[in-house]
Amino acid sequence: MNQAPEPSLKAGLYIVATPIGNLGDITLRAAETLRGVAAVACEDTRVTGRLLHHLGAKPRMIRYDDHADGRAREAILGLATEAAVALVSDAGTPLISDPGFRLVREARERGIAVTSLPGPSAGIVALTLAGLPTDRFVFAGFLPAKAKARSEALLELAAIRATLVFYETGPRLVASLEAIDKGLPGRDVAVARELTKLFEECRTGSAAELAKHYRENPPKGEIVLLVGPPAEGGAAPDALEIDRLLTAAMENAKASQAAGEVARMHGLDRKALYARALELQGR
Ligand code: SAM
């Protein structure tokens, strides 16, 4: 193994992944780097302070958020031209549904060296646990909180032949599972919760089964929601299925648009679907 020792770190920005629950998942290189940098940019100084304390690291901490005004970014980039500066998030890999994209883009534009230290990321951990296909996957971040935007987002993803990976919160899980049951019917689904922690759980089933389970057992903690791809060369949807798809699509779109979307997703005849959509509407 060609291991790069880091006794004195070169100036630049170091993107450092940190554990998503189990502190044992910090890498040797991450620990060494956090002990060697002059400053750490982080989301929450209390959260990162605890990790640094655990590692015996004492760098200066700078609060950073991509959406805040540019002053913190300027300070971090200024420092990174002459010293080693790390970026961490509260947990997992920075930039993945977390701040850092703008910082990295500007660092690159200014010729500042950027080094990424790989480590845990909840979506990848969930993919390796759930037993769903991993040859193609799409990381889709958090689903929108509002029902209409959520079903539109699912409709947009419906034709993709890949496992879909979402970050989710406990209070919204059941609503998301219900929307998946309507918008992406027939898929294998997995809920991966509290990964790497004491109460880790990975539960699989249909969206309807999982919605029922979590309605009865409201979930606590952090969640990744996975939706398997549509069945390979799957049989064309039957009449009942078509009605379900059209009804779901018409919650947010006119009959003609809904027919178009379902036709595109399943390679069906748009005119026939439009006629059926009008019938369903007229009921
Ligand atoms: N950057 C992080 C990463 O690489 O995984 C993700 C940050 S995002 C703001 C936080 C979300 O990640 C949580 O709401 C949850 O969906 C997911 N997550 C983080 N830690 C998790 C864990 N231990 N188990 C399950 N999901 C987790």
Q: Is 250 helix (H, G, I), strand (E, B) or coil?
A: coil
Q: Is 115 helix (H, G, I), strand (E, B) or coil?
A: strand
CA angle 40, 56, 2 (to 5 degrees): 75
CA dihedral (18, 24, 28, 34) in degrees, to 10, reads 40
In a domain, 168, yes or no: yes
Q: Could you give the CA distance from residue 219 to residue 259 in angstroms, rounded to a whole number? A: 36
Answer yes or no: do 115 and 135 share one domain. no
Q: Could you give the CA distance from residue 268 to residue 260 in angstroms, rounded to a whole number? A: 9
Best residue among 51, 121, 167, 191 to mutate for probing ligand 1, ranked by most atoms within 8 Å of CB: 167
In a domain, 133, yes or no: yes
Answer yes or no: do 207 and 250 share one domain. no
228 C-alpha to ligand 1 centroid (Å): 19
In a domain, 3, yes or no: no
Check residue 73 and give its pLDDT. Answer: 95
Answer yes or no: do 23 and 99 share one domain. yes
Answer yes or no: do 98 and 78 share one domain. yes
186 C-alpha to ligand 1 centroid (Å): 26
Q: Compute CA 281 distance to the chain's CA centroid, rounded to the nearest angstrom.
A: 36
Answer yes or no: do 20 and 100 share one domain. yes
Q: Could you give the CA distance from residue 163 to residue 188 in angstroms, rounded to a whole number? A: 9
Q: Is 34 helix (H, G, I), strand (E, B) or coil?
A: helix
Beta-strand (E) ranges in the chain?
12-16, 39-42, 60-63, 84-87, 114-117, 137-142, 163-169, 189-193, 201-205, 222-227
Answer yes or no: do 110 and 186 share one domain. no
In a domain, 2, yes or no: no
Q: Could you give the CA distance from residue 59 to residue 57 in angstroms, rounded to a whole number? A: 6
Q: Could you give the CA distance from residue 237 to residue 62 in angstroms, rounded to a whole number? A: 54
Q: At what angle do helices 239-249 and 170-183 cross, to 10 degrees?
A: 130
Split the chain (283 residues) into runs of 10 and give each run's mean pLDDT. 65 98 98 98 97 97 89 95 98 98 97 98 98 98 96 91 97 97 94 98 98 98 97 70 87 88 77 88 82
Residues shown for the chain: 283
Which residues line the pocket of ligand 1, CB cutoff 6 A?
Answer: 20-21, 89, 91-93, 96-98, 121-123, 167-169, 192-197, 222-224
In a domain, 187, yes or no: yes
In a domain, 5, yes or no: no
Q: Could you give the CA distance from residue 187 to residue 189 in angstroms, rounded to a whole number? A: 6
| Residue 200 Cα: closest atom of ligand 1 | 24
Indicate the DSSP class of residue 269.
-
Q: Which residue among 120, 140, 171 closes a domain?
A: 120
Query: Where in the sequence is the domain holding 221, given as residue range(s)?
Result: 123-227
Q: Tell me, what CATH number does 128's domain have? A: 3.30.950.10
Tell me which residue has its CA closest to atom 16 in ligand 1: 167
Answer yes or no: do 17 and 92 share one domain. yes
In a domain, 82, yes or no: yes
Q: Which residue among 120, 150, 171 closes a domain?
A: 120
Residue type, 37: V
166 C-alpha to ligand 1 centroid (Å): 10
Answer yes or no: do 185 and 129 share one domain. yes
Domain count, the chain: 3
Q: Token match 């909180």: residue?
A: 145
Q: Which residue among 80, 95, 120 closes a domain?
A: 120
Answer yes or no: do 140 and 116 share one domain. no
Question: Cβ contacts of residue 265 below 8 Å, gap of 6+?
Answer: 158, 159, 245
Q: What is the CA radius of gyration of the chain?
A: 23
Q: Tell me, what CATH number does 79's domain have? A: 3.40.1010.10
In a domain, 182, yes or no: yes
String of DSSP letters for 66-102: TTS-THHHHHHHHHHTTSEEEE--SSB-TTSSSS-HH
Q: Could you give the CA distance from residue 229 to residue 163 in angstroms, rounded to a whole number? A: 5
